Amino acid sequence: MTGKEILFALINFAVLVAGIWLFGRKKIAEILRSHRDRVETDLQDAARSHEDAQRLDEDLAQIRRAAAEREEALLAESRSKAETNSAAALARRTAEAEAVMAVVQDGEEQLRRDMQHRFADEAVAAVAEETAALLREERYAPARAALQDRCLAEIAGLLAATPNDLLRMEQQGKLEMTVTGAAPLTDEELRALESAARERIVSPAGLGDLPVICLDEPDEAVIGGIRLRLGDTVYDGTLSHRLEQLQIRGENGTGTVADVISAIRRRLRPESSAVDVYQVGRVIRLSDGICRVSGLSDVMAGEMLTLPGGLRGMVMDLERDNVGVVLLGDYTAVQEGDAVRRTRRIIDVPVGEALIGRVVDALGRPLDGKGAIHAKERRAVESPAPGVPDRQSVNRPLQTGLKAIDALVPIGRGQRELIIGDRQTGKTAIALDTIINQKDQDVLCIYVAIGQKESTVASVVQQLRQHGAMEYTTVVCASASEPAPMLYIAPYAGAAIGEHFMYQGRDVLIVYDDLSKQAAAYREISLLLQRPPGREAYPGDVFYLHSRLLERAARLSDRCGGGSMTALPIIETQAGDISAYIPTNVISITDGQIFLETGLFHAGVRPAINVGLSVSRVGGAAQIGAMKQVAGRLRMDLAQYRELASFAQFGSDLDKATQAALRRGERMTELLKQEQYAPMAAADQVIVLFAAGEGYADDVPVDRMARFESELLAYVHENLPGIFDTIAGGKKIPEEGLAQLRRTIENFQKTF
């Protein structure tokens, strides 16, 4: 750049600065003033903020001081309350501990008293052994000899022959007797017995000069007295036999000290012979809880027999030369050749008030560890069902507490209603809810567990106890670990226990859970007894097995006391096949069935009742009047809903009527769902079903139906309590009451 160009540039710069100064100084001054004002304002704000911060610090310090004072006051108050509560809690715990200790001490004292007054099995056995050893001593030899003479004289006067003995004598051409004593008999004593036999048996039978043979088989084990065997009949007056009977009477620790002492004195006094006459047989074959016994030609079908070790047996087959016996218990100790003794008593179980609240086996023996059952009466496990003149129609409801059942398939007292469905569909749950709902209803309950695991039965008993139902319930248990004969007779034992109360004019509910396992057990017994199988390998009389059991459920006429026994048999199906052999048998015997469907159960509908296949042949006769009013349309609405629901899934365009029916059916299905162990009073069921049936729940979301039900019941209980008394009375709700109920539900709708 040249010097001239530099000069011109400086001149231009000077001109520009002069122009800016002349024309922009005012603006620059304004900018400077504005900046100064902002700075002053910021300084003032900062001063004020500093003052506010100082005041805030002072306020915070004051708040901290107040909080500290409050904290100290609260701590002091807490310490005082804690000390007071600790003292009260300590006093309460001390009182509870003292109460518990008092109960424990009372229990110990009661147990000590019981032990002082009661013999155990081992104690009775020890008494019998010591007594036997004592009686064998030489000083009692004269008394034993005198007892033997008296036994001979008494047996000679008791000799008699059964028809089978006479037939055997004709076939063998002789009369043979076996005599057993502690010492050999003299020839004179043997001739006296032979003469008595000829006089009392041979001559009356017209057998002429039939030879009489008396075999003498001494045995020191009899201790004293005489035992004579003629055919199957035994005339036993030995001391060993009396001690055996003493030990049997002491089973289960039922004999008190006074009883045992009295029995010893009565049975063992020297001047008493007390010859016992009974029949014995011998085990000739044994397999899987079934044995064949020779002899016992006069035994009765269904008679109870005794085997070694206290084992019981029941006669099931009467063959020409032997009898088939089912063994009721652990048969592992039984061997071929063991003696089997008649009791001359058809198999029976103890009955009466002593069994209420107890858990027993199929023979009525306790399983709950609560001691012996002191029942005053016994009843045969099988007895004839009441005849038609002794019955009356079923017209009194037995409330189950389940809305789906009480409304759709009502059960009456004296009815037989089958519960049927696949495994794990809630069959037992329905039965247990029904038992729980009988509390304060004056209905005694019997639950018969057939072929279930013992843990399952224990769980059932625990649930019943938790809900206070064991106070009026008896549980008969024949678990899966027991032999088939116990499963076979368990339902009959339960029916016998219930019949005792029914004939006393009381109402009884009995649950058979389940009869499928009883049928399988009977099939096993029949096949082992070599009976010919029929359809599906079941014996031909399996229908009679269940019919003679379920026909015992009835409502008796007023002339017979007016009692009732309601039966709820349970049958397990395979894949929902209710047309199988056993289900069709029981369906034809009962007065209706409650069919539980697996699909509904898995869909969350519980109880999973199939409305179309479930039916009660008693119907409205077993419902209270108010339930008839509200439940009349329920079955039809639900059946229509199921059909429409299956049809609607194939199309999307539905008319308003179809949509309304689907909406109501969906809500009714949701409303019928019910939790287990939560039965509902009949009056509450009526209110809920009335509200749903009248359409008051049509606009309620499905997931809020449970809340709608609970809040509606609470509202009606509070605002219209009188209607519950009307419903509980069993009569229909009058029109005025229905109008009041509608207004109450409408008012509730406004607040829901």
- Burial class of 640 by CB neighbour count within 10 A (0 to 12, 13 to 18, 19+): middle
Helix (H) / strand (E) containing 640? helix 634-648
How, if at all, do strands 276-287 and 290-295 pair? antiparallel
User: Token pair of 571, please?
Assistant: 């049958």
Q: How far apart are CA 541 and CA 526, in angstroms?
A: 10
C-alpha 278 chain-centroid distance: 39
| 641 to 344, 473, 633: CA distances (angstroms) | 61, 39, 12
Residue 512 Rama label (left phi>0; alpha psi -120 to 50; beta): beta
Is 535 marked active-site?
Answer: no
Helix (H) / strand (E) containing 741? helix 735-751
| 550 to 190, 321, 705: CA distances (angstroms) | 57, 34, 39
Q: How far apart are CA 383 and CA 380, in angstroms?
A: 6
User: Token pair of 402, please?
Assistant: 């389940």
Do the Cβ atoms of 393 and 376 come closer than 8 Å? no
Quickly count: other Cβ atoms within 10 Å of residue 347's Cβ. Answer: 23
Quickly count: other Cβ atoms within 10 Å of residue 694's Cβ. Answer: 15
Q: What is the DSSP letter of 555?
A: B
Q: How far apart are CA 393 and CA 617, in angstroms?
A: 12
Catalytic entry in 531, 617, 635, 642 = 617
Longest dimension (CA), the chain: 187
Q: Tell me, what amino acid is at 590?
A: T
Do the Cβ atoms of 275 and 241 come closer than 8 Å? no
Closest CA to 479 of 636, 644, 367: 367
Sign of CA dihedral 328, 333, 335, 338: negative
Closest CA to 495 of 547, 427, 446: 446
User: Token pair of 312, please?
Assistant: 């019981």
Q: Which residues of 662-688 are buried (b: 16+ CB within 10 A; e: fewer)?
A: bbbbebbbbbbbbebeebbebbbbbbb
Do the Cβ atoms of 694 and 631 come closer than 8 Å? no
So which residues are the catalytic ones? 617
